[in-house]
């Protein structure tokens, strides 16, 4: 550990409330898919700030929009009409079957908005006294009290009880269990098409289609959390589009403004009737600065057809990894994913492999201590991905 890094670490320990366990790196600079640490060492970034900087760090086109907007208008609150918001709304809605959008600032907030809309729509429009939302084991929906309750993971809620009620978890890939869990109090199902924090676990297509059909049959809402998988990462603009699903509500955030905090919830015209003026609000949501950046993000993704690029690069990396898996039997347990959302399950030696990757200049995330999770920028050079695969092979050989 370098002197510079140690002193940064020590300084932080005095200042910040302990709530993160950090990787042993202090990052000072980024350009597209490359990062530099405080000692000047360069890394290939395969994590993109957890699927956030999907167009790369300090992308020139995004920087130009940010600079321009910074001299025009930042924030006036949602008391006013702002065209920046409308431009983003038009761009966002052009990507899916939804009719209306609500802006907020994070993934958890987007899910809170989705939960509130589902409940209020059911109560006020459908006139049904139902509020319970079913979620899937292994899911992650955020860290607010409501989204923690939806996430249903004891380790994350330890010490924070009581959590809001009205959430129930069902096992994945078991439609009978879901059907049995639906009661007259159920108003919606909320799921991630590819579970991200759960370790990159794609839900099977037939199961997802069964869930949607069950929601239609029982007349409850179908909600997709696209916070991580959305924005072209899985090969379609939204992950649910891979399977022709049409959720009533969807939430998103991470890549929306390429690193500026921003979230959104989209709904059909019918379900959007669940909110009226005053039902829900946020001070910062859809501010002009973040909205202008978000608009550029969506335009670039559409212009450059980045969902196709993600599908192509994901396929080429996964076949390279599959070959590696065959050459080194037993070293890789499973390769999972969709597009550029990839999990490489290594097992108990994973932390060691991950740290060696860092030493050799490759940053990815270590998921549940057993899986390497890759969420690179959609603009990453194929060469960077192949260099990662070569380096991983080299490390696994000597393991
Ligand atoms: C990251 C994430 C969230 C929470 O987003 P925050 O911006 O951290 O609140 C919710 N759902 C999914 C699927 C996520 O990956």
Q: Which CATH architecture has domain 3-58+306-398?
A: Alpha-Beta Complex (3.90)
Mean pLDDT, range 172-193, rounded to an integer: 98
> Does residue 140's CB lie within 6 angstroms of at least one atom of ligand 1?
yes
CA of 395 to the centre of ligand 1 (A): 31
Q: Is the fold of 3-58+306-398 the same as that of 73-303?
A: no
Distance CA 64, CA 122 (A): 44
Instruction: Output the pLDDT for position 242.
Output: 98
Which residue's entry shows tokens 């070569």?
A: 390
Domain ranges of the chain: 3-58+306-398, 73-303
Contact indicator for 335, 325 with CB cutoff of 8 Å: yes
pLDDT band at 170; cut points 50, 70, 90:
very high
Distances (CA, A) of 326 to 293, 333, 370, 374, 397: 43, 11, 19, 20, 12
Q: Which CATH architecture has domain 73-303?
A: 3-Layer(aba) Sandwich (3.40)
Question: Token pair for residue 210?
Answer: 């069964």
Contact indicator for 399, 56 with CB cutoff of 8 Å: no
pLDDT band at 73; cut points 50, 70, 90:
very high
**Which residues, including other chains, have CB under 8 Å from residue 188's CB and lie 6 or more apart?**
118, 122, 133, 134, 215, 220, 221, 222, 223, 248, 249
Instruction: Output the pLDDT for position 399.
Output: 86
Q: Which of ligand 1's atoms lies nearest the C-alpha of 147?
A: 10
pLDDT digits (tens, 9 = 90+) for 292-327: 999 999 999 999 999 999 999 999 999 999 999 999
- Beta-bridged to residue 252, according to DSSP, are 264
pLDDT band at 1; cut points 50, 70, 90:
confident
Contact indicator for 80, 396 with CB cutoff of 8 Å: no
Distance CA 372, CA 335 (A): 10
Distance CA 357, CA 23 (A): 12
Q: Which of ligand 1's atoms lies nearest the C-alpha of 195?
A: 13
CA of 225 to the centre of ligand 1 (A): 9
Ligand 1 pocket mutation, candidates 156, 233, 238, 253, criterion most atoms within 8 A of CB: 253
Q: What would the DSSP string read from start to end of 345-390?
A: E--TTHHHHHHHHHHTTEE-EEETTTEEEE---TT--HHHHHHHHH
Q: Which of ligand 1's atoms lies nearest the C-alpha of 109?
A: 9
CA of 107 to the centre of ligand 1 (A): 4
pLDDT-above-90 percentage for the chain: 99
pLDDT-above-70 percentage for the chain: 100
Question: Token pair for residue 320?
Answer: 């390279």
pLDDT digits (tens, 9 = 90+) for 108-161: 999 999 999 999 999 999 999 999 999 999 999 999 999 999 999 999 999 999
> Does residue 112's CB lie within 6 angstroms of at least one atom of ligand 1?
no
Query: Sign of the C-alpha dihedral, residues 144, 282, 117, 272?
Result: negative
> Does residue 250's CB lie within 6 angstroms of at least one atom of ligand 1?
no
> Does residue 107's CB lie within 6 angstroms of at least one atom of ligand 1?
yes
- Report the nearest-CA residue for atom 11 of ligand 1: 141
pLDDT digits (tens, 9 = 90+) for 331-365: 999 999 999 999 999 999 999 999 999 999 999 99
Report DSSP state, residue 279: S
Ligand 1 pocket mutation, candidates 254, 257, 341, 365, criterion most atoms within 8 A of CB: 254
Distance CA 225, CA 276 (A): 23
Instruction: Output the pLDDT for position 371.
Output: 98
């Amino acid at each position: 550990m370098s002197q510079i890094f140690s002193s940064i670490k020590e300084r932080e320990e005095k200042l910040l409330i302990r709530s993160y366990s950090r990787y042993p790196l202090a990052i000072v600079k980024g350009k597209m898919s490359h990062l530099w640490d405080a000692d000047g060492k360069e890394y290939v970034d395969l994590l993109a700030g957890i699927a956030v900087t999907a167009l790369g760090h300090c992308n020139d086109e995004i920087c130009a929009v940010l600079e321009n907007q910074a001299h025009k208008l930042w924030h006036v609150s949602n008391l006013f009409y702002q065209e920046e918001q409308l431009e983003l709304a038009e761009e966002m809605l052009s990507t899916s079957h939804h009719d209306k959008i609500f802006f907020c600032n994070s993934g958890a907030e987007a899910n809170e908005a989705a939960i509130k809309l589902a409940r209020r729509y059911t109560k006020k429009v459908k006139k049904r006294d139902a509020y319970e939302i079913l979620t899937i084991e292994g899911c992650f929906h955020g860290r607010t009290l409501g989204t923690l309750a939806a996430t249903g993971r004891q380790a994350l809620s330890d010490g924070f009880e009581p959590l809001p009620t009205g959430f129930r978890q069902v096992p994945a890939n078991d439609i009978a269990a879901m059907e049995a869990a639906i009661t007259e109090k159920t108003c919606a199902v909320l799921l991630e098409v590819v579970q991200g924090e759960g370790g990159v676990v794609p839900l099977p297509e037939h199961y997802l289609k069964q869930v949607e059909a069950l929601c239609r049959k029982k007349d409850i809402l179908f909600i997709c959390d696209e916070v991580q998988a959305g924005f072209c990462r899985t090969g379609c603009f939204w992950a649910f589009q891979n399977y022709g699903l049409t959720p009533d509500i969807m939430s998103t955030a991470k890549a929306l403004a390429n690193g500026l905090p921003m979230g959104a919830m989209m709904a059909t015209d019918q379900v959007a009737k669940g909110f009226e003026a005053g039902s829900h609000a946020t001070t910062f949501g859809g501010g002009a600065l973040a909205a202008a950046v978000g608009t550029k993000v969506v335009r670039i993704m559409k212009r450059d057809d980045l969902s196709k690029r993600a599908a192509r690069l994901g396929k080429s990396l996964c076949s390279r990894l599959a070959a590696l898996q065959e050459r080194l039997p037993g070293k890789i347990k499973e390769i999972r994913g969709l597009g550029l959302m990839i999990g490489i399950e290594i097992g108990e030696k994973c932390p060691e492999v991950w740290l060696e990757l860092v030493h050799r200049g490759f940053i990815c995330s270590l998921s549940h201590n057993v899986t390497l999770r890759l969420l690179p920028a959609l603009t990453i050079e194929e060469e960077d991905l192949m260099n990662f695969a070569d380096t991983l092979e080299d490390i696994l050989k000597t393991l």
